Amino acid sequence: MRPTPPTLLPLLRSNTVGELLAWLYLHPDSEYSTTELAAQTGASQPTVSREADRFARAGLILERRHGNLRMLRADTTTIIARSLTDLLALTYGPAAVLPPLLQPIPGIDEAYIYGSWAARHAHQPGPPPQDVDVLVVGSADDDALYDAARTAERTLGREVNVTRIAPDSWTDDTPDPFVTSVRTKPLYPLIPKERDS
pLDDT at 137: 96
| Coil, helix or strand at residue 22 | helix
Question: What is the spatial order of strands in the sheet that 61-66 belongs to?
Answer: 32-33, 69-74, 61-66
Minimal CA–CA distance to 186: which of 123, 137, 98? 123
Tens of pLDDT, residue by residue over 49-72, are: 999 999 999 999 999 998 999 999
Q: What is the mean pLDDT of residues 23-29?
A: 96
- Residue 24 contacts residue 73 (beta carbons within 8 Å): yes
pLDDT at 195: 43
Minimal CA–CA distance to 160: which of 194, 114, 196? 114
Confidence of residue 194 (pLDDT cuts 50, 70, 90): low
Distance from C-alpha of 84 to C-alpha of 92, rounded to nearest angstrom? 11
Q: Which domains occur in the chain, in start order?
A: 15-91 (1.10.10.10), 96-191 (3.30.460.10)
- pLDDT exceeds 80 at position 173: no
- Residue 152 contacts residue 160 (beta carbons within 8 Å): yes
pLDDT at 24: 97
